[in-house]
């Protein structure tokens, strides 16, 4: 931060998606050699703004000024030529290629062969210099999310980028990895790099950034110097109109009321070992756990360590080679999803759009999904649409879904409203067990709060809740107990009194 020259300026950027104004007259300034936080809630427009700078989206209006020259960016190639690099939230590497192949990909060099001897030398030098080690000749699909992040950062340096955009880089990392990464980034900055750091976590801004710009609903709220700002200043900028108690990780503060757990466990898993013939699936190994009624059992872990497999094996117990899954006294092994749902179990999957809803179906279609064979909705296989309609209307009322009626295509609703329908569907019947995977992902703060309330309400009704989440902050907030999953094994279980971010975090990477 020796020189204070302006390197980049975005002026009056506007962007519209259909009827939604994603960005409105956005102005943004970047000083050479800083780490600049771009802070805002999910859906505030941070990624949209940066994707415009990177050329993946086209702006409707506005100017991009780089080193005092107006430039046109219509594709990533334009931004690469201008020394801009971007690392997206999930890796944009060709998973069938090795790290070297990925690093070389797209580089404008005239040489024809794919030997990469010289390239490897150069890359090894960069790895050494910034302490970013990863294997060069292994296919990327076999590497962890943390290593992929390193590859992408080295790729940016390898291309002599002068501006690096990092979009939520910590999603797949734990605290330790993040700290490591941060020291590498600081070294790069001292070598002349400028960094834009997109995040929705106030804590990370305070930890990593020199300055921070806050964006809400596509509008810039202001820029702060983090040296003389504190948490409250940022919170006030981020949640101007909302009175929600918030901690440093952008999660509303809640209190878990005291409840009595049931005496007997609702769900018990004994020595569960699975073997899937699909290549990209993690196998669960000797997994033991019990969840009691009235308890929220959190599962912590780096994404892709078996969370999805654990959730799915409970509602679809196949591929089991050893062990048992029991609901109260009933063994679930071998039952179908429909049969298990009949035992007062329901599931809210992780990926809302892909796994949870029928996008082009209306709210009725979506309410019915998973309940279609229940006797209240069908009689000798003829559907009772009038009952479905009733249930849909009740859900809309009870969960305050903002929609004209139950015939609205669900994908036309906002993320928060879609998730309200999904939760309404899950809670249509009284439950003994709810399995839910990151139900708050990508939602705004008031929807997150609403979902927390519903889950706590369920807890007080003595439902057992299995709560899988990659966000440790959120788990610590809402769980009674947390189990850490690592490479398909449940390596440790902590009770609420024992919660410690550092300890749990190191377990998550196999420590």
Of the candidate spans 37-45, 109-117, 242-250, 455-463, the one that interacts with other proteins by CB under 8 A turns out to be 109-117
Cβ proximity of 288 and 271 under 8 Å = yes
Q: Which of 1, 20, 70, 77 binds other proteins (CB under 8 A)?
A: 77
DSSP 413: S
CA angle 38, 215, 77 (to 5 degrees): 55
Q: Does 56 bind other proteins (CB under 8 A)?
A: yes
Q: Does 114 sit near other proteins (CB under 8 A)? A: yes
Cα 141 to the center of its chain, rounded Å: 19
493 beta partners: 483
Residue 479 within binding range of other proteins, rule CB under 8 A: no
Q: With contacts defined by CB under 8 A, name the span among 170-178, 231-239, 353-361, 499-507 that binds other proteins.
A: 353-361
- Helix, strand or coil, per DSSP, at residue 363: helix
Q: From the CB of 150, what's the least distance to other proteins, in Å?
A: 16
Q: Which is nearer to other proteins, 336 or 460 (CB)?
A: 336
Q: Hey, which residues between 378 and 417 contact other proteins (CB under 8 A)?
A: 378, 381-383, 385
Residue 353 Cβ, how far from other proteins at the closest point, in Å?
Answer: 9
Return the number of the residue (365 or 480) whose C-beta is nearest other proteins. Answer: 365
> Residues near 424 by Cβ (< 8 Å), separated by ≥ 6?
367, 395, 396, 398, 399, 401
Site string for other proteins, 4-23 (x = CB under 8 A): -------------x------
Q: Please, which residue, 105 or 331, has the CB nearer to other proteins?
A: 105
Site string for other proteins, 253-292 (x = CB under 8 A): ----------------------------------------
Nearer to other proteins, 221 or 356 (CB): 356
CA-closest candidate to residue 443, choices 433, 452, 434: 452
Between 437 and 489, CB nearer to other proteins: 437
Backbone dihedral region of 116: left (phi > 0), alpha (psi from -120 to 50 degrees) or beta? left
**Interface segment toward other proteins; rule CB under 8 A; list 202-210, 219-227, 335-343, 456-464:** 335-343
Vertex 509, ends 467 and 347: CA angle to 5°? 20
Q: Which residue's CB is nearer to other proteins, number 56 or number 456?
A: 56
- Of 238, 469, 428, 441, nearest to 341 by C-alpha is 428
Q: Which is nearer to other proteins, 438 or 479 (CB)?
A: 438
What is the pattern of x (binds other proteins, CB under 8 A) and - over residues 138-177?
A: -----------------x----------------------
Nearest partner of 422 among 371, 469, 491, judged by Cα: 371
Secondary structure (3-state) at 343: coil
Stretch that binds other proteins, among 247-255, 292-300, 309-317, 478-486 (CB under 8 A): 309-317
Q: How far is the CB of 428 from other proteins (least distance, A)?
A: 12
Q: Whole-angstrom Cα distance, residue 145 to residue 419?
A: 27
CB 90 to other proteins: min, Å: 10
Q: Which of 267, 201, 277, 300 is nearest to 462 (CA)?
A: 267
**Coarse DSSP helix, strand, coil percentages of the chain, rounded to the nearest 5 percent:** 35, 25, 40
111-119, 244-252, 282-290, 490-498 -> range binding other proteins (CB under 8 A):
111-119
Q: Residue 378 or 414: which CB sits closer to other proteins?
A: 378
3-state secondary structure 319-333: CEEEEEEEECCEECC
- Residue 422 near residue 355, CB atoms below 8 Å: no
The b-or-e profile of 241-255 (16+ CB within 10 A means b, else e) is eeeeebbbbbbbebe
Q: What is the DSSP letter of 139?
A: B
Question: Taken in order 355, 356, 360, 364, is the CA torsion positive or negative?
Answer: positive
Report, in Å, the least distance between residue 11 CB and other proteins. 22
User: Closer to other proteins at the Cβ: 9 or 342?
Assistant: 342
Q: Where are the beta strands (DSSP E) in 311-418?
A: 320-327, 330-331, 345-348, 378-379, 382-383
Q: Helices 415-426 and 385-398, interaxial angle, to 10°? A: 120
Nearer to other proteins, 261 or 344 (CB): 344
Q: Does 321 bind other proteins (CB under 8 A)?
A: no
Q: Does 96 bind other proteins (CB under 8 A)?
A: yes
Closer residue to other proteins in complex, CB, 167/204: 167
Handedness of CA 308, 314, 320, 324 (dihedral sign): positive
Using CB under 8 A as the binding rule, whether residue 2 contacts other proteins is answered as: no
Q: Which of 62, 135, 304, 361 binds other proteins (CB under 8 A)?
A: 361
The yes or no reply on residue 101 touching other proteins (CB under 8 A) is yes
Residues near other proteins (CB under 8 A), total: 57
Site mask, other proteins, residues 421-450, x = CB under 8 A?
A: ------------------------------
> Alpha-carbon distance 363 to 295, whole Å?
30
Pick 103 or 193: Cβ nearer other proteins: 103
Angle at 219 between CA 217 and CA 225, to 5 degrees: 115
* Residues at the interface with other proteins (CB under 8 A): 17, 54, 56-57, 75-77, 80-81, 86, 88, 92-97, 101-102, 104-107, 109, 111-114, 155, 312, 315-316, 336-338, 341, 347, 349, 354-361, 365, 368-370, 372-373, 378, 381-383, 385
């Amino acid at each position: 931060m020796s020189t204070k020259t302006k390197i980049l300026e975005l002026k009056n950027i506007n962007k519209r998606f259909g009827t939604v104004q994603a960005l409105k007259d956005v102005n943004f300034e970047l000083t050479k050699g800083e780490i600049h936080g771009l802070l805002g809630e999910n859906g505030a427009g941070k990624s949209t703004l940066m994707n415009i700078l990177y050329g993946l989206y086209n702006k409707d209006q506005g100017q991009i000024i780089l080193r005092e020259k107006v430039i046109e960016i219509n594709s990533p190639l334009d931004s690469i030529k201008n020394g801009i690099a971007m690392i997206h939230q999930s890796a944009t590497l060709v998973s069938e290629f090795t790290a070297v192949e990925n690093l070389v990909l797209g580089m404008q060099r005239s040489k024809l062969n794919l030997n990469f001897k010289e390239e490897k030398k150069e890359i090894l030098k960069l790895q050494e210099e910034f302490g970013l080690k990863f294997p060069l000749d292994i296919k990327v699909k076999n590497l962890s999310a943390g290593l992929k992040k390193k590859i992408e950062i080295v790729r940016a340096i390898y291309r002599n980028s002068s501006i690096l955009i990092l979009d939520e880089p910590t999603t797949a990392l734990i605290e330790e990895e993040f700290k490591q990464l941060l020291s590498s980034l600081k070294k790069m900055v001292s070598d002349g790099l400028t960094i834009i750091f997109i995040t929705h976590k106030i804590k990370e801004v305070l930890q990593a950034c020199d300055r921070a710009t806050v964006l809400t609903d596509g509008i810039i709220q202001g820029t702060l110097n983090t040296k003389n700002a504190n948490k409250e200043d940022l919170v006030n900028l981020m949640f101007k109109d909302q009175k929600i108690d918030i901690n440093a990780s952008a999660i509303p503060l809640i209190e878990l009321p005291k409840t009595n757990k049931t005496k007997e466990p609702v769900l018990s898993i004994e020595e569960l070992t699975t073997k899937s013939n699909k290549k990209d699936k993690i196998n669960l190994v000797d997994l033991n756990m019990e969840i009691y009624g009235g308890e929220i059992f959190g599962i912590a872990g780096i994404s892709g360590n078996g969370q999805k497999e654990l959730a799915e094996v409970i509602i679809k117990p196949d591929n089991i080679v050893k062990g048992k899954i029991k609901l109260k006294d009933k063994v679930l092994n071998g039952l179908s999803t429909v049969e298990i749902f009949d035992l007062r179990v329901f599931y809210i999957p992780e990926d809302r759009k892909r796994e949870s809803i029928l996008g082009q179906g209306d709210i009725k279609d979506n309410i019915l999904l998973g309940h279609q064979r229940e006797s209240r909705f069908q009689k000798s296989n003829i559907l009772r649409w009038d009952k479905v309609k009733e249930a849909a209307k009740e859900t809309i009322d009870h969960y305050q879904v903002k929609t004209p009626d139950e015939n609205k295509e669900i994908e036309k609703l906002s993320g928060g409203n879609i998730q309200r329908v999904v939760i309404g569907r899950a809670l249509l019947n009284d439950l003994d067990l709810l399995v839910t995977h990151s139900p708050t992902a990508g939602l705004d703060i008031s929807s997150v709060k609403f979902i927390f309330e519903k889950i706590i309400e369920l807890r007080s009704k003595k439902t057992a809740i299995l709560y899988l989440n990659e966000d440790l902050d959120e788990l610590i907030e809402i769980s009674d107990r947390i189990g850490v999953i690592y490479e398909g094994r449940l390596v440790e279980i902590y009770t609420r009194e024992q919660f410690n971010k550092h300890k749990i975090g190191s377990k998550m990477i196999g420590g």
